[in-house]
Amino acid sequence: MMKMMILKNKRLVIGIISWIAMLTVLSGCKNSIVPKKKNEKVQGKITVITQRVDIGDSEFKKKYLPEFNKKYPKVKVEFEGVSDYDTAMKIRLNAKDYGDVLLIPNIGKEQLPAFFQSLGNQVDVGKKYRFLYDASYNGKCYGIPAVANIRGILINKNVWEDAGVTTYPISTDEFLNDLRKIKKKGKATPLYTNFASKSLLTEWKKNCIAITGERNWKNEMIEENTPFSKGKPFYEVYNILYEAVRQKLVEKDMTSTDWEKSKQLIADGKIGSMVVGSSLMRQVKALTEDVESITYMPFPAAPGGKQYTEITGDNYIAINKNSKNKKAAKAWLYWFVNDSKYSEQNYSISTVKGKKLPKFFQVFKDADVEFLEQMPAPVGKETLWDDIEKKSGIGLNTGEAETKIINAALTGKASFSTIMNNFNARWKATRESIK
């Protein structure tokens, strides 16, 4: 029998979120994309590069393209799916082989003008779209997020309930204890790290706001010398990762982890949880008939007795500054963000201002989980955090930090406090050298 949500100490009961999510999918299927007036002036051939290799033909080509062509009949679009997207596209940027429309890979903001076409003044573009800060530089906007995600943990609720867990954990101790219960059952890997994927490892740092409940935590960090001390966001988030690995609550063979396989494993109930963004939930639901079993929970923290989750832009769509068909490329970019309904169909939030919050996320709201958007960096310090991070060699943006933590926990060669002290020393020295 389906559990109903109750507000007991402001905690979410496992089960209800997946039910609402299923309703969201069903209702979303009824919404047809209504084409606006045809625009036959815009024409040309463009290549759109996407990381969604799983739906290149089934959705982009067969679903989105026909609707796009109702408005832009003279634009021909070819789609190219790229695996290991971030690594591959960094190489292709330097080779000037990166299509016409693409997602911005993990590069420094100062590099944006070298590769991407400006979409206009950040303030002007920001009148209609949210979450532009990660794709803006010197007042110019170079990309618009395809979606906005909430951050937390993807779970198979059947695995959790089978282990006797019926409410979501709100602390590190509760979370680790729940993982131990899952391990004791012996049917599933409690927490899957996706160790081999550096980009997926960076998902951990996106939960820092859950620790503090403060939008300005990242800007405050650039004014600190010891931001990896106990009680600080990175310390608390990474401590969970370290302890889960140390206590053997993760996959046994970490060197052979595989993202595509892990989606099927969690869909089949062989994995209990993964730290990934909410938009990835749809990919997993598509792999099981029991769609209700796949759901999402807030990161296990409750500062001051309240839970928080960060809303972040994801998959910033941009235009190759060398494209020979910029008008056609821009037509696709804005149509996709404004009219495709891609965000609703992928358990994400639209980046277009004024759009209603999908029903799936309303469950978090009803349980008093507060959604927070990170504060933009101060004027003149837009790249300072990234500059310190990159020069320090800690690897917060690359997955190297998580890799170091996991390796230390596996081998026992370094305690968690030793790693955090090292990160503090690196951060302080780099910060002082840059200032």
Q: Which of 98-107, 224-233, 367-376 has the lowest mean pLDDT?
A: 367-376
Instruction: Yes or no: say if 348 and 276 are a contact pair by the CB < 8 Å rule.
Output: no
pLDDT at residue 22 above 60? no
355-372 average pLDDT score = 81
Residue 191 lies in a domain: no
Distance of CA 27 to the CA centre of its chain: 24
CA 245 remoteness from chain centre: 22
**What is the rounded average pLDDT of the residues 323-341?**
96
- The per-residue pLDDT for 19 is 42
pLDDT surpassing 70 at residue 276: yes
Distance CA 279, CA 290 (A): 18
Q: Give how many domains the chain has, as a whole number.
A: 1
pLDDT at 15: 56
Token representation of residue 419: 């790693």
Q: Tokens 């799916």 map to which residue?
A: 81
Q: What is the CATH number of the domain that holds 107?
A: 3.40.190.10
Number of Cβ within a 10 Å radius of residue 184: 11
Please give the pLDDT value at position 86.
87
Question: pLDDT class for 376, splitting at 50, 70, 90?
Answer: confident
In this structure, is residue 378 part of a structural domain? no
Report the alpha-carbon distance of residue 93 to residue 114 in Å, rounded.
10
Tell me the two tokens of residue 250.
């993760």
**63 within some domain:** yes
Residues for the chain: how many in total?
Answer: 435
In a domain, 96, yes or no: yes
CA distance linking residue 333 with residue 70, whole number of Å: 15
Is the pLDDT assigned to residue 349 strictly greater than 50?
yes
Each residue of 240-252: pLDDT tens digit?
Answer: 999 999 999 999 9
- 3-state class of 78 per DSSP? strand
64-100 burial, b at 16+ Cβ within 10 Å, e below that, comes to: bbebbeebbeebebebebbeebbeebeebbeeeebbb
The model's pTM is 0.81
> Quick one: what percent of the chain has pLDDT higher than 70?
91
Show the domain range for 324.
Answer: 31-150+314-373
Does residue 214 lie within any of the structural domains?
no
| Averaged pLDDT of the chain | 89
Asked whether residue 336 is assigned to any structural domain, the reply reads yes
More confident call, 284 vs 3? 284
Cα(295)–Cα(16) distance, rounded to whole angstroms? 9
State how far the alpha carbon of 219 is from the alpha carbons of 134, 148, 288, 359, 377, in Å.
14, 21, 41, 32, 6
Query: In Å, how far are 19, 270, 281 from 256, measured between CA atoms?
Result: 33, 16, 22
Rounded percentage of the chain residues whose pLDDT exceeds 90: 72
What pLDDT sits at residue 359? 76
Strand arrangement, sheet containing 120-121: 120-121, 140-141, 136-137
**Band (192; pLDDT cuts 50, 70, 90):** very high
Other CB atoms within a 10 A radius of the CB of residue 166 amount to: 12
d(CA 148, CA 207): 14
Residue partners of 311: CB distance under 8 A and separation at least 6: 131, 148, 149, 150, 349, 371, 372, 373
Reported confidence tier of residue 55, pLDDT bands at 50, 70, 90: confident
pLDDT of amino acid 7: 30
- The owner of tokens 């951050």 is 151
User: What pLDDT, on a 0 to 100 scale, did the predictor assign at position 37?
Assistant: 65
Residue 112 domain-assigned (yes or no): yes
- Across the range 390-400, mean pLDDT stands at 96
**Side chain identity, residue 115:** F
* pLDDT at residue 409 greater than cutoff 80: yes
Estimate the crossing angle of helix 416-434 against helix 384-392, to 10 degrees: 120
In 3D space, the residue among 145, 172, 242, 144 whose CA is nearest the CA of residue 201 turns out to be 242
Looking at the predicted structure, is the pLDDT value of residue 38 above 90? no
Is pLDDT above 50 for 372? yes
Phi, psi of 46 (to 5 degrees): -130, 155
Please check whether residue 432 lies inside any domain of the structure.
no
Report which of 332, 322, 315 is spatially closest to residue 117, judged by C-alpha positions: 322
